Amino acid sequence: MRAGSNCRSCGAPVRWAITSATGARMPLDTEATEDGNLGVVAWREDGHRLATPVVAVNPTSALTRYRYTSHFATCPHAASHRRQT
């Protein structure tokens, strides 16, 4: 996973992932957790020998052993990043 990125709002370290459903980039909290709702279902090489996780929402436990929480769920400033509808 990419190291060295920080949230522009709160400054917390984040890891970037790709969603399996849309291919969009998503910030994750850096530490894996047993109760995370996002599971790594694959790894994608980016050409710099860094592997980016591909995550799915609530995958079955048979598919993944690494679970993370979206940084949008824990960032105190997440509302400022939401699109206005």
Q: What count of Cα atoms within 13 Å lies in the side-chain half-sphere of residue 46?
A: 12
69-71-73-77 Cα dihedral, nearest 10 degrees: 170
Nearest to 70, CA basis, from 62, 58, 61: 58
**pLDDT per residue over 51-83, tens digit each?**
788 888 877 766 677 889 999 999 998 877 666
Q: How is residue 12 written in tokens?
A: 């917390």
Alpha carbon distance 11, 32 (integer Å): 19
- Domain assignments of the chain as residue spans, ordered by start: 5-77
The continuous run of DSSP H or E covering 63 comes out as none
Query: How do residues 10-44 score in pLDDT, each as one tens digit?
Result: 999 999 999 999 999 999 999 988 888 898 888 88
pTM for this predicted structure: 0.76
Dist. CA 38–CA 57, nearest whole Å: 5
